[in-house]
Amino acid sequence: MLKSKHLIGLEHFPTSDLNKIIDTSFKFKEILESPERKAILLKGKTIVNMFFENSTRTKISFTLAEKRLGADSINFSSSTSSVKKGETLKDTIQNIDAMKIDGAVIRHGHPGSALKLTEYIDGAVINAGDGSHEHPTQAILDMVTLKEKFGKIKNLKVGIIGDILNSRVARSDIFALKKLGAKIVVCGPSTLLPSNAKQLGVNITHNIEEVLSWCDVVIGLRIQLERMHLGRIPSKREYHSEFGLTYERISKLKKDIVIMHPGPMNRGVEIDSKIADSENAVILDQVLNGVASRMSILYLLLADKPENL
Ligand code: CP
């Protein structure tokens, strides 16, 4: 049983709940790797996935996790809904809640939208990414991937490279990694680093060689091409040259480091294809662990009496 009713963000999420979700994810991973691949633990529960922003990984893995748990899963896409006719978020949500749902997964461009949803919905709310605020389920699957790879997260040296300023993944990863005792260095151009990076409790460098030679694992972040017009980086080519996870940089390291990326990737910008597809990359393991982690989150938040599996 978790202390939390919802999963809105990791900044104030109890560490005991975070650890419980991570540990239970490994049980679900075993189930996913068994011939059956299912555990009908949420039969009779109805979950609506509300995506007001595009998604591939998060939307599919929530839908799959719900099906693997035997829940009734409904997908709502704002682009084909009455939102297009001017219906407000509040009305949309209240109408969906009137149909008696047990849980809601929401991705929305506005920071705070998942928290707002808890005012209108009786069931559990799970944040699937709210603007540049948090993406807690991505961070949880990242923690599962790290624990799977290294056996523990305490004292792990983690470098996070890229657009820290606009990245909900970076914020949630930092909150999770700090709770679990990892050491963190963030790296990027000063225009893409938040002014409160020190307050976030992380070290900062603008030198990618320095962070790569220090870390055990590097998380490359997507350069948000939709924000290019803001002029925070001179060009994709210059970003790649200064901050890219290039084959040249990684191959000259005197040790192996694990490469992670939440996706979607801009190959040839923040990461070279040769690195993304290399043996050290665990990017597709992250995706599989996303299904197991989301099964764990849904089970622990929605089951009437979740038990130790
Ligand atoms: N990592 C992630 O959130 O990917 P999607 O935008 O495809 O869901």
Best residue for ligand 1 mutational test, from 49, 52, 53, 57 (most atoms within 8 Å of Cβ): 57
Best residue for ligand 1 mutational test, from 49, 51, 55, 287 (most atoms within 8 Å of Cβ): 55
Query: Ligand 1 site: residues with CB under 6 angstroms?
Result: 55-58, 129, 138, 262-264
Residue 196, pLDDT score: 79
CA-54 nearest atom, ligand 1: 6
- The strand order across the sheet containing 217-220 reads 203-205, 183-187, 157-161, 217-220, 258-260
Q: What is the whole-number distance in angstroms between the Cα of residue 287 and the centre of ligand 1?
A: 10
Q: What is the whole-number distance in angstroms between the Cα of residue 288 and the centre of ligand 1?
A: 13
Q: Write out pLDDT tens, residues 262-302.
A: 999 999 999 999 999 999 999 999 999 999 999 999 999 99
Neighbours of 87 (CB within 10 A): 13
Structurally, what CATH architecture does the domain formed by 136-283 represent? 3-Layer(aba) Sandwich (3.40)
Q: What is the whole-number distance in angstroms between the Cα of residue 224 and the centre of ligand 1?
A: 12
Q: Nearest C-alpha to atom 3 of ligand 1 is from which residue? A: 58
Same fold, 15-135+287-302 and 136-283: yes
**Which CATH number does 15-135+287-302 carry?**
3.40.50.1370
Q: What is the whole-number distance in angstroms between the Cα of residue 59 and the centre of ligand 1?
A: 8
Domain-wise residue ranges, the chain:
15-135+287-302, 136-283
Q: What string of pLDDT tens digits covers the 309 residues of the chain?
A: 899 999 999 999 999 999 999 999 999 999 999 999 999 999 999 999 999 999 999 999 999 999 999 999 999 888 888 988 999 988 998 999 999 999 999 999 999 999 999 999 999 999 999 999 999 999 999 999 999 999 999 999 999 999 999 999 999 999 999 999 999 999 999 999 988 777 888 999 999 999 999 999 999 999 987 776 777 788 999 999 999 999 999 999 999 999 999 999 999 999 999 999 999 999 999 999 999 999 999 999 999 999 888
